[in-house]
Structure 1
């Protein structure tokens, strides 16, 4: 039976999920949190879907051994590939996925042209494409899809302000602006971590009016709704909330990410998750 005092599990292919974690901490400050960064297996976006599914299930199983009461898939690629399988495996557990913010993008656009920055795997996913078509039919918004090959890797390497990252952003954003996009969806949880760099690209292009959509806040609100509906919110006034992190790569690297990106220093543990074997 799930307990209100149990932790919430949050996982991503790397540090991108920290952009979601900060929203969850802000909205649910009394909750215990476990964060898993699967950096040794990153990026997910260039791997076959069945391999991503197997990996995601392995990580969820690991977090389940720590007694989590809810799971947040803080990775767009993993959500597109595996959230259905996760819900089938853990039907009694609240599970929140991260999807590119197509709905808020359609609501925000003034001219009906919405650029979507995401990994190639996300943009090729059947679930994503079905959602795009559904929202286009309902709203008339046109979604301009831009795969951002290598950008998540740059962010994993903490290259937030490097010349190479800036050049990538120029290369990926300008074609969307040239097509008239007045709204950009940050369709990977890594991308809000370079929001300042994106805003500089827009300012140099004379397009500071472009709206940026980050879905981390919506994920935290949905998580809060599900926990409340299941009577799983941890009461205020209990012992202080804790945050513990795990990584399949270097604990030192994840510690640096927490410090540099969020200004906090939680305990970080290195763990080994077996590479999934996918039957052919």
Structure 2
């Protein structure tokens, strides 16, 4: 499904005055404390008017947000980008888990009724722990869309383009062992550490990273790969680049991402838990104040919080979400 952003939306980018990315408690202490807070604040996070939280190390999770906004236009969203520590793919598992739990705690304190870990690396190493810390909170994680790629493959050879953390994580490798192998499908893993920085930089087509992608597509085709899975939420933003190159080079490769499936799963959970926003999504200021614990303006369709702010980030968000996007800033 093509990702589009042709609708008017408002985005709030907050300067990093709420979180200090350089200070963090030990994971063991942190887990105990957030579990206690989760119990205390559970009631305020179940209202239909409560926002949906999204978390990623950078802007990549906005690809998931666009799918969500298309399927669930009446919902409000709070997006947490850990731009101070992006990318996560090269970090060790304990570091990824700690940073992820910190982000989820922050989103939960904003009153989010459901949280999407819109980061494959974070899902690979922190999803299970997060669900244990917040047993009453629906948390959706990402797994590269390997199953549909295996089912669609005619050659029996697919590739997963992802970060090192995702490729080494148990979520992906469990799917390979339980689904790809029994279906006699070969899975090639590919990692380029410059892909996430390339997206964060605006994806200049003359960059060396773009040239490597062109070459890698030819290499995949020569190996008989006919399905390419985008295993990082940053990657759908260059899906059109890949499709254009595949067409120009006349390659028999299909590109698969998991954004639509994630949006469908979120919709199912909201309906099952009776938490879907009302059609008019009208909520009083008093109701919102009981949900929201800080100065985040959750009356907007999308509130964007970054742990590190820059003018380049604003330009990138506007480019990814469309020229009609309105950016608002809170002062330091």
Same-fold call, TM > 0.5? yes
The yes-or-no answer on 1:256 pairing with 2:300 is no
Counterpart-to-counterpart distance in 2, 1:25 and 1:255 = 20
1:87 paired residue number: 131
SS of residue paired to 1:72: strand
SS of residue paired to 1:139: coil
Unpaired runs of at least 5, structure 1: 272-280
Does the CA contact (< 8 Å) of 1:39 and 1:249 recur in 2? Answer: yes
Which of 105, 112, 115 is equivalent to 1:61? 105
Does the CA contact (< 8 Å) of 2:147 and 2:175 recur in 1? Answer: no
1:221 paired residue number: 264
SS of residue paired to 2:236: helix
2:240 paired residue number: 196
Question: Following superposition of structure 1 onto structure 2, how do residues 50-129 of structure 1 map, counting pairs within 5 Å?
Answer: 50-129=94-173
Counterpart-to-counterpart distance in 1, 2:175 and 2:184 = 13
Does the CA contact (< 8 Å) of 1:13 and 1:39 recur in 2? Answer: yes
Does the CA contact (< 8 Å) of 2:78 and 2:304 recur in 1? Answer: yes
TM-score (norm 1): 0.91
**Which range moved further: 31-40 or 135-144?**
135-144
The yes-or-no answer on 1:246 pairing with 2:289 is no
**1:6-33 deviation digits (Å, cap 9, x = unpaired):** 0000011101111101000000000010
**Which range moved further: 66-75 or 256-265?**
256-265
2:179 paired residue number: 135
The root-mean-square deviation of aligned C-alpha atoms, in Å, is: 1.8
Counterpart-to-counterpart distance in 2, 1:270 and 1:149 = 34
**Pairwise CA distance, 1:165:** 2.9
Does the CA contact (< 8 Å) of 2:75 and 2:281 recur in 1? Answer: no
Aligned length: 270
- Name which one, 1 or 2, has greater alpha-carbon Rg: 2
**Pairwise CA distance, 1:36:** 1.0
The yes-or-no answer on 1:36 pairing with 2:62 is no
Does the CA contact (< 8 Å) of 1:52 and 1:82 recur in 2? Answer: yes
Unpaired runs of at least 5, structure 2: 1-42, 283-298
1:278 paired residue number: none
Tell me: higher relative CO, structure 1 or 2? Use CA pairs within 8 A at least 6 residues apart. 2
Which of 261, 265, 270 is equivalent to 2:326? 265
Q: 1:249 to 1:228 in 2, by over 3 A?
A: same
